[in-house]
Amino acid sequence: MESLLAYLKKEREQEWRVELRSKIKNKERTSLERLAMPEVDPDIRNKSYCEVNKGLTEEQAIHEARRCIDCPSPTCIYGCPVGINIPKFVKLIEAGEFLESAKVLKETNALPAVCGRVCPQEAQCEKTCFYNEKLKKSPVAIGNLERFAADYERNSGHISVPEISSHNGIKVATIGSGPASLAFAGDMAKMGYDVTVFEALHEIGGVLKYGIPEFRLPNDIVDIEIEILKKMGVHFFTNFIVGKTATIDDLRKQGYAAFFVASGAGLPNFMNIPGENYIGIYSANEYLTRINLMKAAHDDYDTPVISGKNVAVIGGGNTAMDSVRTAKRLGAKNARILYRRSIEEMPARNEEIKHAQEEGIEFLNLTNPLEYYGDENGRVKGMKVQKMELGEPDDSGRRRPIPIKGSEYEIEADTVVVSVGVSPNPLIPRNMPELEVSAWGTIKVNQDTMQSSIPDIFAGGDIVRGGATVILAMGDGRKAAGGVDQYIKEKVRNILSLIKEFKTIGDILEFATK
């Protein structure tokens, strides 16, 4: 901690930063208004897959960067799960050094263009921004600036590849290719490790590909960030399920020194109410995977999807918003959210709720499904719902929804998407009985190193958290990279000290065959 503060202070005292600060008075900086992110018109975008947010222009980015007063104590950094040097990258934007700014992002973040789009900055860096904490004003738009710098670099054709320390030849494996894994792979590769990513699906990217829709995160942006990891020497295997195609033991025999399990929260929850298996009722995972990964909405792709005129999405999280906005784009006349609490309790980001409202999504809050009805072919045609009211706060701190007796009514629905959370993917824990898991099936880890009950196995992301955000998963990946590095260095030290004590060839042979 001390060294970090000292480092930040030293960086802040660099000549260019001092000069930049003196150019504009703080009073002038704080009087500037936060710029809104330019968006595509709601009536156009809800019929298209185009990205909703257009990104800042160079002038807008410089204007926004000027608002940052480059505080002596940059509290924003503490709000960032991957510890980006926020004032430095923002000030480089102010100075017009956009490519340098992108390099700063990449020092600690393997996926800046992704994070600039999907991070809940309002609950992280922007929440702890000086403007928010002290001035009670809109914080500096750190997320929008991150996206700007990353996009500028990508579009410039001068994409930098982070520097790699000399290769140490030690093989490590990461399981899954979502945000936790990619962050882990980036950090390990920088430290000189030989990293292999094993992915079960046919595409790299995990939830960034199958889950988050194109209108929020275009796939080619994910692919470009993956390309950089490939240039850094990271190996990728698709169609490879660790625990099935090969076990962790098989991989140990191939020389992998440590493993990072980031297999995600891949088991969708259902509500177990009558009629839930009618045709046309999907888990959010299935609905989004068919559309995002398998491109079911494109005529020339073989995968089908049922997306009707009356679509009901159950849930209030970001995944529910992604599903309902996708349904609208596929031509739903009524695309509805059914959520058992009120809009204030919704776990989705405010931006997603706002975008959904603008696009014509109907919100049936304080409403809970009780039963589904199907036609003679077993296709869902409607549902019985019940009104709820809010009682005392529960364990989660949110007010508990209580059913109102006699408030049941019926609504039409030809497609239903159930988005009420996910459970950890059971494939790895099921195949490793000695791995300690919680009652919910999440892998238990040391919070500092992400090490599991098996010394060479580390874990992070949703398989540990049970369902969280891209950036928290990436934070886990970075932490685990530190943990694995420490674990391997200690192991190497132990082996070297043993080797020092060898006196005869016999000793070596005995050690080697152990």
Partner 1 sequence: MLLLFFNFRGLYQNILPGSTLFWRICSSEYQYQSCKMNKIVEKEYFSEAVVKLVIEAPEIARSRKAGHFVIIRVGVKGERFPLTIAEADVEKGTITLIAQKVGVSSIKLANLEEGDYITDVVGPLGKATHVEKVGTVLAAGGGVGVAPMLPIVEAFKQAGNKVITVLAARTKKLIILEEQMRKHSDEVVIMTDDGSYGKKGLVTHGMEEIIKREKVNLAITIGPAIMMKYAALLTKKYKIKTLASLNTIMVDGTGMCGACRVSVGGKTKFVCVDGPEFDAHEIDYDEMLMRLNAYKDKEEKSYEQFIGKYRKA
For 21-56, letters b (16+ CB in 10 Å) and e give beeeeeeebeeeebbebeeeeeeebbeebebbbebb
> Measured between alpha carbons, how far is 12 from 70 in angstroms, rounded to an integer?
8
- Strand pairing class (310-314; 415-418): parallel
> Measured between alpha carbons, how far is 271 from 284 in angstroms, rounded to an integer?
13
CB of 189 to partner 1, least distance (A): 16
CB of 67 to partner 1, least distance (A): 42
CB of 6 to partner 1, least distance (A): 34
Burial class (CB in 10 A: 0-12, 13-18, 19+), 449: middle
Using DSSP, state whether 415 is helix, strand or coil: strand
Residues that bind partner 1 (CB under 8 A): 168-171, 200-202, 210, 235, 237-241, 244-247, 250, 252-257, 264, 266-268, 270, 272, 276-277, 279-280, 282-283, 285-286, 289-290, 294-295, 298, 300-304, 306, 377-378, 425-427, 456, 488, 491-492, 495-496, 512-514
Work out the angle between the directed axes of helices 58-67 and 142-156 (0-180°, nearest 10): 140
CB of 218 to partner 1, least distance (A): 18
CB of 279 to partner 1, least distance (A): 4
CB of 273 to partner 1, least distance (A): 11
Our CB check for partner 1 shows the closer of 245 and 438 to be 245
Using DSSP, state whether 74 is helix, strand or coil: coil
Our CB check for partner 1 shows the closer of 185 and 488 to be 488
Q: What value, to the nearest 5°, has the Cα angle with vertex 19 and ends 33 and 142?
A: 35
Our CB check for partner 1 shows the closer of 145 and 288 to be 288
Our CB check for partner 1 shows the closer of 176 and 382 to be 176
Phi, psi of 415, rounded to the nearest 5 degrees: -140, 135
For 203-218, letters b (16+ CB in 10 Å) and e give bbbbbbbbbbbbbbbb
CB of 239 to partner 1, least distance (A): 4
Our CB check for partner 1 shows the closer of 162 and 441 to be 441
CB of 187 to partner 1, least distance (A): 19
Our CB check for partner 1 shows the closer of 21 and 252 to be 252
282: which residues sit within 8 A by CB, 6+ positions away? Answer: 290, 306, 415, 416, 417, 418
Closest CA to 487 of 467, 465, 457: 457
Our CB check for partner 1 shows the closer of 155 and 303 to be 303
Our CB check for partner 1 shows the closer of 210 and 339 to be 210
